[in-house]
């Protein structure tokens, strides 16, 4: 009996160790990012791959997609992560290449992190911890912080994660309103068409929309001005959504109360103006990084690949 065909996958960057191991058991993986001349490699291997495997942060541009599209059966891009802002979806459509992401399985952990950042910022949990750890408590009490329960939450992007944040906020008796490109049918939270108006209303402006050109610098100096000196910005979406220069200026001048950030425009580099300031809580893009969620994301990447090779269709395309 013939051995089953092992499909060839382009690997666009380093993968989590378990996913790397499991994918390598099932597929022939060819690393692209370690090639001395990736463009020449793609040209020489045009049409020779059945798919690509990647993480959101690796990005997948038109040359990779053209290479996959040139195969006898246009291939698949299986992405670990729900953010597809780095994937050229228009090129994928043009070349008949399918794309999958890992929605839903990470929603709870990302929403949990948003609430964690709200509490960390307003209640000054990180600075309060340092107060104890450094022995400063022996010299005097920690300053008063800001209440979270009952405050107003404005969510930008009421998709899977935005709705999970809204449900959690309701547990804290927080009124919720949201902004998106259009009102979501069947949703009870009030829709606010103008982002500036939502920022003006909110105590916490929480970003849960996609990154990419359409949302670049959606949170501008004017939006931060509207959020105001008692308002907090929480970003678990993408760094590109915020004008970081404007954010640094707003924090420095006290035009907003503080910020809780998981994502940045140029990771892992974080603007100096966001460091060393108790009013800013910075996480290293870990909103989905729990063992349980990572495992579920890995499984979904493999399930998408298996479904594509068995049926010609991925299970969870981006939109
Ligand atoms: P989703 O279900 O697709 O929801 C995205 C929401 O954003 C939609 O409701 C959409 O509503 C809204 N939106 C799209 N374009 C917009 C715009 N220009 N202005 C305002 N709202 C806009 O996606 P999800 O699963 O909730 O994930 C949301 C994002 O979270 C991802 O794209 C990713 O970037 C980020 N994320 C971050 C982490 C992390 O580790 N920090 C982990 C997972 C996801 P309309 O279509 O009506 O505008």
Per-residue pLDDT of the chain (319 residues; tens, 9 = 90+): 666 789 999 999 999 999 999 999 999 999 999 999 999 999 999 999 999 999 999 999 999 999 999 999 999 999 999 999 999 999 999 999 999 999 999 999 999 999 999 999 999 999 999 999 999 999 999 999 999 999 999 999 999 999 999 999 999 999 999 999 999 999 999 999 999 999 999 999 999 999 999 999 999 999 999 999 999 999 999 999 999 999 999 999 999 999 999 999 999 999 999 999 999 999 999 999 999 999 999 999 999 999 999 999 999 999 7
Q: Does one domain contain both 67 and 211?
A: no
Same domain, residue pair 191 and 92: no
Q: Is residue 3 part of a domain?
A: no
Residue 187 maps to a domain: yes
> Which amino acid residue places its CA nearest to atom 33 of ligand 1?
83
Q: Are residues 56 and 173 in the same domain?
A: no
Q: Does residue 318 belong to any structural domain of this protein?
A: no
Instruction: Based on the fold, state whether residues 38 and 115 are members of the same structural domain.
Output: no
Active site residues: 238, 267, 285
Q: Indicate if 132 and 96 belong to the same structural domain.
A: no
Measured by CA distance, the residue closest to atom 12 of ligand 1 is 157
Query: What is the number of domains present in the chain?
Result: 2
Is residue 316 in a domain?
no
Return the best residue to mutate from 210, 268, 287 for the ligand 1 pocket (most ligand atoms within 8 A of CB). 210
Centroid of ligand 1 to alpha carbon of 132 (angstroms):
37
Structural domain of 80: 8-101+292-311
Do 172 and 233 lie in a common domain?
yes
Domain co-membership, 25 together with 89: yes
| 1: in domain | no
Q: Is the CB of 241 under 6 A from ligand 1?
A: no
Residue 64 sits in a domain whose CATH number is: 3.40.50.720
Residue whose Cα lies nearest atom 37 of ligand 1: it is: 237
Position 1 scores a pLDDT of: 60
Domain membership of residue 2 (yes or no) is no
Q: Indicate if 123 and 244 belong to the same structural domain.
A: yes
Beta bridge partners, 77, equal 52, 99
Give domain status of residue 79, yes or no: yes
The pLDDT value recorded for residue 4 is 72
Specify the residue for token string 């690997």: 11
Q: Tell me whether residue 76 is in a domain.
A: yes
Which ligand 1 atom sits closest to the C-alpha of 289?
40
Give yes or no: residues 23 and 78 share one domain. Answer: yes
Phi-psi category of 195—alpha, beta or left, where left has phi over 0 and alpha has psi -120 to 50?
alpha
Q: Quick one: 139 and 222 in the same domain?
A: yes
Based on the fold, state whether residues 117 and 178 are members of the same structural domain. yes
- My answer on whether 59 and 145 are in the same domain is no
């Amino acid at each position: 009996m013939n051995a089953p065909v092992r499909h060839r996958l382009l690997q666009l960057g380093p993968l989590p160790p378990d996913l790397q191991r499991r994918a390598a058991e099932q597929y022939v993986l060819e690393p692209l990012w370690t090639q001395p001349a990736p463009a020449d490699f793609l040209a020489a291997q045009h049409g020779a791959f059945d798919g690509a495997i990647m993480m959101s942060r690796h990005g997948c541009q038109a040359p990779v997609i053209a290479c996959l599209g040139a195969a006898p059966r246009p291939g698949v891009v299986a992405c670990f992560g729900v953010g597809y802002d780095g994937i050229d979806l228009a090129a994928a459509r043009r070349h008949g290449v399918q794309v999958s992401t890992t929605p839903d399985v990470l929603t709870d952990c990302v929403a949990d992190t948003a609430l964690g950042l709200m509490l960390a910022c307003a209640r000054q949990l990180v600075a309060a911890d340092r107060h104890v750890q450094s022995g400063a408590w022996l010299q005097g009490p920690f300053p008063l912080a800001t209440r979270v329960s009952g405050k107003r939450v404005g969510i930008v992007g009421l998709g899977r994660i935005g709705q999970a944040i809204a449900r959690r906020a309701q547990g804290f008796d927080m009124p919720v309103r949201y902004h998106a490109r259009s009102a979501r049918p069947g949703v009870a939270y009030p829709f606010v068409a103008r982002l500036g108006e939502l920022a003006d209303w909110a105590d916490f402006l929480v970003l849960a929309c996609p990154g990419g050109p359409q949302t670049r610098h959606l949170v501008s100096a004017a939006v931060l001005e509207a959020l105001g000196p008692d308002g907090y910005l929480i970003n678990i979406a993408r760094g590109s959504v915020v004008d970081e220069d404007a954010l640094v200026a707003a924090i420095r001048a006290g035009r907003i109360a503080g910020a809780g950030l998981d994502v940045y425009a140029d990771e892992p580099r974080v603007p100096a103006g966001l460091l060393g300031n108790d009013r800013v809580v910075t996480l290293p893009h870990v909103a989905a990084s729990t063992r349980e969620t990572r495992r579920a994301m890995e499984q979904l990447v493999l399930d998408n690949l298996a479904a594509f090779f068995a049926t010609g269709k991925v299970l969870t395309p981006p939109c």
